[in-house]
Amino acid sequence: MSAQQSAAAWRTTAAGPPRDRWATVLSHVTAAIPAGTAYVLVVGHAHEAALLADRLAATLLDAGRPRIRLTGAICAVPADLRGGLTPGTVVIAAGHAWRAHLPTGHWHLTIRVRGASPVRGHHHRRGSADIVVDLHDPAWPVIRHIGAWFAHTDAWYGTETQAFFAARAATWDTGSGGDLAAYAAAVTEAAIPTGASAIDVGCGTGRALPALRAAVGPAGTVLGVDLTPAMIDVARSRARAADAALALADVRRLPLPGRAVDAVFAAGLLAHLPDVDAGLRELARVTRPGGRLVLFHPSGRDDLAGFDGTGDPLAETPLRLAAHRTGWHLTGYDDPPHRFLAVATRR
């Protein structure tokens, strides 16, 4: 999708016109830079890393914060840097080669840029980073991860999740997992009872809604919840909306009383949450004891694993432990390459 289409998709939503994407991303990144003198390394494909580093340097200049942008093919630390810096200076370098040329012993903040250009070396692509920025569309940058240590608030999460999915909403159903039969099979296997009240959290375009309605029948209740207005707009425009009520809400703070639902369906959601335990705990709050949680992904767990460099919350042991910590008991776990299905019961 082009930048114009991305922006157009965004503008059709209830959220109103976007601020400039770069400005939003850079304001979140700037807020994450530690106070005092800070060393920031941007890694990824050379051009994309340099683009982000240059824009970050320009933003800091506009904000009046002293900054030094290290450049050059030979990673030489300038002599005046070794002699001491104005307090509060941000030193920025781009490129993996700078890792070995630490001006002070360690980089305080590492930003990884994920883009369309290939990056040589496996560790360059998947290495851990404090911040991950998606630059597949250089006119539509999106932050995909900020480590909890650096994110003083979760303000970044809402704008960035909405921006990421707004750009994908119009074509979502043509991507992987468009096969509604896979959703129907998952709902059937989870044995959601007739007459139940079910919520589809992170419902997107509503792929699971017809199957959930078929499971609970006309006497049951189905509610689709999503944080991205563009996704809700698409779900509403489809016949699927007739199967369920739709709500714009954050699954981490659901507008529902405790023990209100019998079943929670979550497809492709968990790995997008910055704090999986907090999400599972909120889902446990709204589910009655004995109710069930269905975690599904239509194209297998490998498609999701490590997308933000923080590990895989759906791997069996971490998921079992997280479920246990948050009020659930994992009763089913099916993890073949072509799909993912886990079922838990509210304790």
The residues of the shown chain that bind ligand SAM, judged by CB under 6 A, are 161, 165, 177, 202-204, 207, 225-228, 231, 250-252, 267-269, 272
Rounded to 10 degrees, what is the CA torsion of 330, 331, 336, 337? Answer: -30
- Nearest-approach distance from CB 243 to ligand SAM, in angstroms: 14
User: In the complex with ligand SAM, which residue's Cβ is closer, 165 or 328?
Assistant: 165
User: In the complex with ligand SAM, which residue's Cβ is closer, 48 or 200?
Assistant: 200
The H or E element spanning position 125 is helix 122-126
Output DSSP code: residue 231.
H
User: In the complex with ligand SAM, which residue's Cβ is closer, 235 or 323?
Assistant: 235
In order of 2, 33, 229, the CA distances from 170 in angstroms are 12, 34, 12
- Nearest-approach distance from CB 226 to ligand SAM, in angstroms: 5
Main-chain phi, psi angles of 62, to 5 degrees: -60, -35
Beta bridge partner(s), residue 311: none
- Nearest-approach distance from CB 95 to ligand SAM, in angstroms: 32
User: In the complex with ligand SAM, which residue's Cβ is closer, 113 or 254?
Assistant: 254
User: In the complex with ligand SAM, which residue's Cβ is closer, 95 or 279?
Assistant: 279
- Nearest-approach distance from CB 146 to ligand SAM, in angstroms: 14
Query: Closest by alpha carbon to 307, among 18, 112, 56?
Result: 112
- Nearest-approach distance from CB 101 to ligand SAM, in angstroms: 38
User: In the complex with ligand SAM, which residue's Cβ is closer, 131 or 186?
Assistant: 186
Q: How far apart are CA 309 and CA 291, in angstroms?
A: 32
Q: How far apart are CA 194 and CA 303, in angstroms?
A: 32
User: In the complex with ligand SAM, which residue's Cβ is closer, 46 or 185?
Assistant: 185
| Nearest position to ligand SAM, beta carbon | 204
Contacts of 72 (CB under 8 A, 6+ apart): none
Q: How far apart are CA 252 and CA 271, in angstroms?
A: 13
Q: How far apart are CA 168 and CA 323, in angstroms?
A: 30
Q: How many CB atoms lie within 10 A of CB 120?
A: 9
Q: How many CB atoms lie within 10 A of CB 326?
A: 20
User: In the complex with ligand SAM, which residue's Cβ is closer, 21 or 272?
Assistant: 272
- Nearest-approach distance from CB 132 to ligand SAM, in angstroms: 16
- Nearest-approach distance from CB 97 to ligand SAM, in angstroms: 35
User: In the complex with ligand SAM, which residue's Cβ is closer, 77 or 184?
Assistant: 184
Query: What is the widest separation between alpha-carbon atoms in the chain?
Result: 75
- Nearest-approach distance from CB 158 to ligand SAM, in angstroms: 8
Number of H helices, E strands in the chain: 11, 13
In order of 22, 23, 203, the CA distances from 18 in angstroms are 11, 10, 23
Identify whether the C-beta of residue 35 lies closer than 8 Å to the C-beta of residue 60: no
- Nearest-approach distance from CB 17 to ligand SAM, in angstroms: 19
